[in-house]
Amino acid sequence: MATHAATPVRYRLTFRGVVAGEWTKFWSLRSSWITLGVSLLLLVAIGVIAALTFTPGAAEAPGPPGTDASNAVGLALAGSTFASLAVGVLGVLIAAGEYSTGLIRATIAAIPTRLPLIWAKTLIFGVVAFLVTAIGAVLAFVLGSPLISGEAIALGIGGDGVLRSLIGAGLYLGLVGVFGVALGMLLRSSAGGIAVLVGLLLIVPGLTGLLPDSWADNITPYLPSNAGGAVMALHESSGSLGPWTGLAVFAGWVAVALAGAAYRLVKTDV
């Protein structure tokens, strides 16, 4: 009787499978949920402290671009700068960490087309970072509002522009996380990715003060943190972009970084 060799079974890894694998890697790392917890804590704690220590007529409270102490939303989002650093750094580590440990070789062997890898990483981390930070922004506002009840800056969550600013904070911080992932995969170095992230979000905006006023006025609104931070502002300030225009500009920065990371992932050796 003739025998036939068994035909090998070929398994096709779908994008859903890639997402599931990246989710398992993401959530199995202790640093992931610890850092996200720190981001949530920073948003809520600093927002509540800003409301608790608010004094009418005092100098503006420290906060991210687009926020100030002139309204309840600005106080609630006073911790956004620190949260953006935590989220952005985690994004860099999630991406660059695979290169430093050598895990990227096994990942590429399982996903030879490569591009689904970067899309899965950015999808997972972007959505998770958005949800965590949006919840943190809303909690900071809800918990801080009773502390400034009766003050001229007090607002209800249903006030004009309030929810847009709070959810906008989550959108901005989610994009910061994606920006971190893109820089980590582009530079393949945790230290390099973090340095570029911090430089673009915090250092470069401060250096524009050294430029002539005419130059600074034209450049400053389009820098990543200034553009993205506009969506968190309750009221559009002079010289800044509109909320959704600013978010779109920041999304453009993120898209450029993602395009560079995707190109390097496909065209260069691991």
Q: Is the dihedral of CA 175, 178, 184, 185 positive or negative?
A: negative
pTM of this prediction exceeds 0.75: yes
In a domain, 251, yes or no: yes
Q: What's the pLDDT tens digit per position in 160-197?
A: 899 999 999 999 999 999 999 999 999 999 999 999 99
User: Which are the contacts of 231, defined by CB distance < 8 A and separation ≥ 6?
Assistant: 66, 164, 165, 168, 169, 171, 172, 243, 244, 246, 247
In a domain, 205, yes or no: yes
C-alpha dihedral (143, 145, 147, 151), degrees to nearest 10: 170
In a domain, 20, yes or no: no
Q: At 215, phi and psi to the nearest 5? A: -70, -45
In a domain, 62, yes or no: yes
User: Which are the contacts of 187, defined by CB distance < 8 A and separation ≥ 6?
Assistant: 96, 193, 196
In a domain, 175, yes or no: yes
User: Which are the contacts of 152, defined by CB distance < 8 A and separation ≥ 6?
Assistant: 56
C-alpha closest to that of 121 among 58, 181, 189, 208: 181
Q: How many C-beta neighbours within 10 Å does residue 153 have?
A: 16
Number of domains, the chain? 1
User: Residue 190 is part of which domain span?
Assistant: 25-267
In a domain, 9, yes or no: no
In a domain, 196, yes or no: yes
108: its two tokens? 């590429």
Whether 30 contacts 47, CB under 8 Å: no
Q: What's the pLDDT tens digit per position in 59-117?
A: 454 444 444 567 889 999 999 999 999 999 999 999 998 888 888 888 888 888 899 99
In a domain, 171, yes or no: yes
Whether 181 contacts 253, CB under 8 Å: no
36: its two tokens? 């996200």
In this prediction, residues 123-145 reach a mean pLDDT of: 96
User: Which are the contacts of 221, defined by CB distance < 8 A and separation ≥ 6?
Assistant: 227, 230, 239, 240, 241, 246
Examine the pLDDT at 239 and tell me if it is beyond 50.
yes
